[in-house]
Amino acid sequence: MMFLVLSLIQNGCFCFDVLFSFSQSKAFLQTAASIAPHMYEPHFNYSTLSDKIGDLQSSYTAAQRSEDAFPEHVDTQQILKHLRQHFAVL
């Protein structure tokens, strides 16, 4: 599904379908995070997706939750560093 979404973006077609897919993905990840708040994966994946679509506040909040669940997760630390640098510029 993600490969299809990326190819649609590159061709400049079906943007509504792409946004709908991102919205669905966000909803599924939010549901997963609410069902298993102790797991870092749903929070991290939600953070990554939110960052990619420009929702930086949601990305930061989800990354903090991911860090709470798994403080040693390197990718979470990297996205938090990236977001903090971005917010410092603003």
The structural domains of the chain, with segments of one domain joined by +, span: 2-89
Whether the pLDDT of residue 13 is over 80: the answer is no
Token pair 């929070």 in the structure block, residue: 43
Q: How far is CA 72 from the centre of its chain?
A: 18
Predicted pLDDT at 9: 46
Question: Would you say 46 and 52 are in contact if contact means Cβ atoms under 8 Å apart?
Answer: no
Pick the closest to residue 65 from 85, 88, 84, 47 (CA basis). 47
Tens digits of residue pLDDT in 19-72: 567 888 888 899 999 999 999 999 999 999 999 999 999 999 999 999 999 999
**Per-residue pLDDT averaged across 84-88, rounded?**
95
For domain 2-89, give the CATH number: 1.25.40.10
Q: How far is CA 24 from the centre of its chain?
A: 12
**Per-residue pLDDT averaged across 68-83, rounded?**
97
Predicted pLDDT at 3: 41
Pick the closest to residue 64 from 50, 31, 89 (CA basis). 50
* CA atoms of 18 and 4, how far apart (whole Å): 9
Question: Would you say 17 and 41 are in contact if contact means Cβ atoms under 8 Å apart?
Answer: no
Predicted pLDDT at 22: 80
